[in-house]
Amino acid sequence: MKFSKFIFHGFILFLITITFSCHEHTGSKLPELNNGKVWVADKSTRLGFQKMDEQFHHANSLESLEDYHKQADQILSIINEIQSSCTMSGQGHEELHNYINLLLEEVRIMKGNDIDLAKKAKSELIEKISKHSLYFE
């Protein structure tokens, strides 16, 4: 049982590594707008953010560290779905990855061993997910 848990956590770490290395990034920052307008996102991106927003729209103070780990894995899964089916290109694509990196920073904290930090990271994640429509339609 311990070995399978080790393999699972190793796989999640691998997914995080792949996600960050798929493109060259110069640090996480809020996306820039497209000449003052939101970027047009592809269908997979819209559906992925909708799915995250539906599943992670509120914080629960009674959650355990394991709950945060499970939720972080769910977010990673959705992000990987977005990235694997993304058809965006150009600057809008790069701005999407800037935004995803902001989410991944919170996911990484949720996967840690400090419940207070995980709780705060989830609140930050929920806020960032809810604001995606400020940058992408």
pLDDT digits (tens, 9 = 90+) for 10-52: 555 444 544 444 433 335 678 899 999 999 999 999 999 999 9
What's the pLDDT band for 3 if we cut at 50, 70, 90? Answer: low
Q: For 73-119, write each residue's pLDDT tens digit.
A: 999 999 999 999 999 999 999 999 999 999 999 999 999 999 999 99
Strand partners, 34: 37
Q: CA–CA separation, 95 vs 117, rounded Å?
A: 27
pLDDT of 18:
44
Residue 94, sorted as left (phi over 0), alpha (psi -120 to 50) or beta, turns out to be alpha
Residues 6+ apart with CB under 8 A from 10: none
Q: How many CB atoms lie within 10 A of CB 66?
A: 9
Q: CA–CA separation, 17 vs 40, rounded Å?
A: 27
Q: What is the pTM of this model?
A: 0.76
Strand partners, 37: 34
Q: Which amino acid is at 120?
A: K
Sign of CA dihedral 21, 72, 106, 85: positive
pLDDT of 17:
46
